[in-house]
Amino acid sequence: MRAKLERDFDRFKRELPRDFPAHVRGIYRIDLTARYLGELVPHPIGKGSGQLSLNPGQLEDDAAAGLAFAVLKTVIAEDETGARAMAAWAIHETKMKVERRPADAGRAGWTVTWKGRGWDRPFAEYLALVRAGRDLTRAGRLLVVPSVKYHLPRLTEPFREGEYRHTTARLADAWREPPLLVEQDFSPTLAGDALADDRAQILRWLREVPVRIRAASPIPVRVAVKLMNARFDDAFQVDMMNASAEADALVCFNRLFDGRRGVAYGGWDLSDRNLGVLDLFRQSPGLRPGSVEKLTPHASAGIPELSGTGNICSGRMILEYARRGCESVQLHTFFQLPLSEYPAVHGSRPQRALHALVFHPREGLIAGMLELEARGELERQSGELRFLDLRAHAHRAG
C-alpha cells in the first residue's frame, strides 16, 4: 500500500484524477464518503465561506478540481426595502495577504489577512450566484451552500423578522427545490465587536437563530451554524455548542480575532484551540452525535452534525477533526498558499491542495487512515475503511 501511495503521489503531481475518490476506493479500499448538512459528498474536503467563492467562475474551477462542496461568500440579510441591521459587515474586500504567523508554541503556520467582511454587492447579484450554485449542485458536480449573516439583536431587543423572512424567501426562490441549505455565519470579526461582549446574548442567538431561519423559509431548510471563537474561555465554547442544538450542523470554529491588529487570523493557535474545545465537548456529559443515518439531527438526535475548520493543512489534520466527530472539513487559507508550497507541479490551487491533502505518503488522508488501521484504531467494514466510521471515536461521555 505504501509503495502504491508513493507512486500515486508522484504521478498525480502532474494531474489529479477528477474522480479521485473512486480511485482511492478501487486501489486502497478506502471509502472517503463524507457528509455536510445531511448531504453525502464524495470526500470530506470543502471550501469555507469567503472571497474564494464569490463568483460563478470560482465555483466552476472548484467543480473541475473535484472539491466536495463550497460555501458561498456571506451575504448580509435584508428586508424587502433593502434595509440591513447588520450592514456594518457589508464591507468591500481589501487585497488578501497570505503570510506566516507563528503560534504561541513556536510553530509557524499560515494565515490570510484582509479587512473585508461580507458581500457588499446588490442582493440580486448574490441570488444569481446562488442559482449558479444550484445548477452545479443539481448536476452532481459540486454541493454549493449559501451563507448568511442574519440580524443578531442585543439581549433586550427583538429579532428583525422582516429580514429573516425576506432574505430566506428570496434564497428559497432562487434554489427552488427543497431542501434549502443555509449556513449562518458568526464571523470572527463579530467576536471583536461590542455585540459579542455579553455571554447570555450570544447564547440567545445560538438558541433562536436556527429556529427563526426555519420558520422564515417557505420550503424545508437545513441550517448550519458557523460558530465564532468567542473572547471567553473554552468552557464557553462548549456552552455555545450545546446552545446550538436546534441547528442541523455546526462548523467548528471560525478564526481567532486579534484585537490589537483588528484582524482575524488562523494558524496553529486556531487548530490547537478548536481541537481542544472539541475534546472538551466530547468529555462533557450529554448526548453523543446523532447516528449516521439521521439526515436532520436537530429533529431527532439532539446534537447537530459537526464540520471542522481551522488550520487544515494536511490529511492528518483532517483526521484530527474527524476523530473528534467532524464529518467534513472546510478550508480557506490552504487554497491560497504560494505555488511553491504545494508538491504538485500543475493544476489549480484547489487541485494541488487536494493532491497534498489526500495522497501525501506521510501526511495525507490515505496514509493517516492506513496508519489508524495498522494500530487497530480503525477497522474495515466489508473490506473497506470508511471515513465516516472515524466519528465512532468521538462519542461524548455520559
Compare 117 and 124 and report the one with higher pLDDT.
Answer: 124
> Quick one: how many helices (H) and strands (E) in the chain?
13, 16
Residue-averaged pLDDT of the chain: 90
Question: Is pLDDT above 90 for 294?
Answer: no
Q: Which residues pair with 224 in a beta bridge?
A: 183, 249
Q: How confident is the model at residue 394 (pLDDT cuts 50, 70, 90)?
A: low
Question: Is pLDDT above 50 for 44?
Answer: yes
Q: What is the pLDDT of residue 395?
A: 55
Q: What is the pLDDT of residue 98?
A: 83
For residue 307, what is the DSSP state? E
How far is CA 155 from each of CA 199, 200, 246, 323, 353, rounded to the nearest angstrom? 10, 7, 19, 36, 42
Collapse the DSSP code of 263 into the 3-class scheme (helix H, G, I; strand E, B; otherwise coil) and give the result.
strand
Question: Where would I find the H helices in the chain?
Answer: 2-11, 20-28, 56-65, 123-138, 161-175, 188-191, 199-216, 234-243, 268-283, 297-300, 315-322, 349-359, 365-374
Of 183, 27, 30, 189, give the one whose Cα is nearest residue 117. 189
Q: What is the pLDDT of residue 285?
A: 67
Of 177, 305, 192, give the one whose Cα is nearest residue 256. 192
Highest mean pLDDT among 44-58, 81-95, 282-296: 44-58
Question: Is pLDDT above 50 for 79?
Answer: yes
Q: Which amino acid is present at 187?
A: S
For residue 114, what is the DSSP state? -
Q: What is the pLDDT of residue 113?
A: 78
Q: What is the pLDDT of residue 104?
A: 75
- Average pLDDT on 203-223 reads 96
Is the whole-model pTM more than 0.95?
no
Q: Identify whether 179 is preceded by a cis peptide bond (ω within 30 of 0).
A: yes
Alpha-carbon distance of 389 to 381, in angstroms, equals: 9
Collapse the DSSP code of 224 into the 3-class scheme (helix H, G, I; strand E, B; otherwise coil) and give the result.
strand
- Average pLDDT on 119-139 reads 96
Whether 126 contacts 54, CB under 8 Å:
no
Question: The dihedral of CA 173, 176, 178, 184: what is its sign?
Answer: negative
Question: Is pLDDT above 90 for 167?
Answer: yes
Alpha-carbon distance of 226 to 210, in angstroms, equals: 11
Q: What is the pLDDT of residue 303?
A: 74
Residue 310: all three cell numbers together: 481551522
Q: Burial-class residue 177 by CB neighbours within 10 Å (0-12, 13-18, 19+).
A: exposed
Whether 386 contacts 31, CB under 8 Å:
yes
Residue 35: all three cell numbers together: 457528509
